[in-house]
Amino acid sequence: MLAAVLVTASCGIEQPQIHSVEMNQGRRYCNPLPMVTGPGGNAAGDVSVFREGNTYYMFCTGGGAWTSDNMLDWEFTPVQHVPVAPDVVKFRGKFYMSGNDCPLYVADNPLGPYTVLGQWENTPGVEGGWNDPFDMHIFIDGDQPYLFYSGRGISGIFGVPLDPDHLNRFADKPTHLFSFNSSHLWERYGEMNEYTGVAWIEGPWCFKYGDTYYMEYSASGTQWKTYAEGYYTAKSPLGPYTYAENSPLLRKTEGLVTGTAHGSVVEGPDGGLWQFYTIVLSNPPGGRRIGMDRIKVDENGMWSVDITDTPQPAPGAGGTLESIPVTINKMNAMNALSTFSSQQPGRYASYAIDNNSGTVWEPEPQDTMPVLMIELSPATRFDEVQLFDVDAVRLMFGGSTPRRGFGGGGASVYKYKVEVSTDGENWTMALDRTANTEQKNTIFEDFKPVECRFVKLTVTGWPGGQLSVIEFTAFGRPSSTRPARVAIPPVIEY
């Protein structure tokens, strides 16, 4: 068992507590995270994570809540009144939930039931107001609560102390912490950040690390794959804040993990800092998922995050093997023996392995058991054949994710199996989920490494309507080789 000093979400350091990470030894995670959904909830971005005791709580746009004791296995619980961009914080034994276009809620338990404490209000006689705020975040510093919120468009981030006895009431005039800065090119609107004077500065999240306050924020807008996250630092909650020159902290515009922003920071069961964030998909337009990765802190207190989309060691796992994608674009590779059961015009089977969330494979409606077989080593007769130790798969399904997740998610039970082969004729079961009952539209499964040349996916059941596969990825490592069918004469040097 490992001991770690943990922190609450946005509250600073607490007393050391023991938190077991033994259950994660040797385990891995992969982005986007495979979150269980259900009626009344869908993990669709604007993710807020905090710890209470030895339990982690996650709230997202889309409703509901998720709990975990290891930051790897998340259990869904329906929770009423969860707003867009929810934020939950503990103060004086109560839990307060804020969000967009809603009053402040209060409960005795992180999972509710939540009741209305009251609408937000200024203290009588205090100047300053809302400026139509959104993306609210309550930060607790000692016994003093603060509210941070976004203005609209380029307005930026604001902060105000709250009345500790009436948490929905301002205790002073709001402070304008910072606004859009066009010289920060990543903040600009557009897929190429081409708008010099347009942006949405949003998603504030404050975290105290040591004696420094880190204020994360997001730009350029949640509809773009250029959606990214930067940060400022200060020595007091209301600043003055200094821009971190290594911003953006999070930015990725290609692959399956794109538009990485609007998240939260929590100390994990391994004692390290972890960044949770929203992922903006290209399909469906505005569709969103959840990601997480480690925060690195250098000797000067600067933060950095390596955004990942391959299997990574879970918090406290350590020593897990590195795997790479081994299926990308091998449907249309020269000499490939890859095949499929059916496809529709413009919804080609090759789109299921192109490492792009903007394309999908849709089998024909009458195809009741769609099959996708990928040759991992499409060799000519003059090439040696490369075999791979395959040890994990990721599946991303489309068609059941509401745009931005508003209104909650419905049933999304997918049933499937993955088989492997060295010759394309004799198959071994690597993963059997034909009796699956979990509701997930993104799936990551580790299994014992098996050497193969072919991987076959068969989808045996889905929620209904048109099956849509955004991506199927097999992960592994090169293993052994087999000789080419035709030997190439040696080169004679003169």
pLDDT tens track for 442-465: 999 999 999 999 999 999 999 988
Give the global pTM: 0.91
Mean pLDDT, residues 437-441 taken together: 92
Mean pLDDT, residues 117-146 taken together: 81
**Residues counted in the chain:** 494
Question: Shortest CA distance to 201 belongs to which of 175, 227, 239?
Answer: 227
- Second CATH level (architecture) for the domain 324-482: Sandwich (2.60)
The Cα–Cα gap between 230 and 250 comes to 7
Is the Cβ–Cβ distance between 308 and 250 less than 8 Å?
no
Task: List the chain domain ranges.
Answer: 3-313, 324-482
Q: Which range has the worst mean pLDDT, 86-90, 124-128, 177-181? A: 124-128
**pLDDT score, position 411:** 52
Distances (CA, A) of 236 to 13, 175, 281, 369: 15, 12, 36, 59
Paired with 455 in beta bridges are 374, 420
pLDDT tens track for 39-73: 778 888 999 999 999 999 999 998 889 999 999 99
Question: Shortest CA distance to 446 belongs to which of 75, 74, 24?
Answer: 24
pLDDT, greater one: 132 or 138: 138
**pLDDT score, position 338:** 93
The Cα–Cα gap between 58 and 75 comes to 10
Mean pLDDT, residues 325-341 taken together: 92
pLDDT tens track for 350-403: 999 999 999 999 999 999 999 999 999 998 888 899 999 999 999 999 864 444
**pLDDT score, position 286:** 61
pLDDT band for position 282 (cuts 50, 70, 90)? confident
**pLDDT score, position 131:** 56
**pLDDT score, position 491:** 66
Is the Cβ–Cβ distance between 484 and 382 less than 8 Å?
yes
Q: Above pLDDT 90, what percent of the chain?
A: 77
Distances (CA, A) of 101 to 57, 120, 134, 406, 408: 22, 10, 7, 14, 17
Highest mean pLDDT among 140-149, 330-339, 406-415 belongs to 140-149
Mean pLDDT, residues 14-40 taken together: 72
Which residue's entry shows tokens 């669709």? Answer: 44
The Cα–Cα gap between 77 and 40 comes to 9
pLDDT band for position 293 (cuts 50, 70, 90)? very high
CATH fold, domain 3-313, is Tachylectin-2; Chain A (2.115.10)
pLDDT tens track for 188-202: 999 999 999 999 999
> Exposure pattern of 312-328 as b/e (b: 16+ CB <10 Å)?
bbbbbbeebbebebbbb
Mean confidence (pLDDT) of the chain? 89
pLDDT tens track for 200-249: 999 999 999 999 999 999 999 998 999 999 999 999 999 999 999 999 99
**pLDDT score, position 23:** 63
pLDDT at 185 over 90: yes
pLDDT at 75 over 90: yes
Q: Which tokens in the block code for residue 441? A: 């539209």
pLDDT at 4 over 60: no
**pLDDT score, position 6:** 34
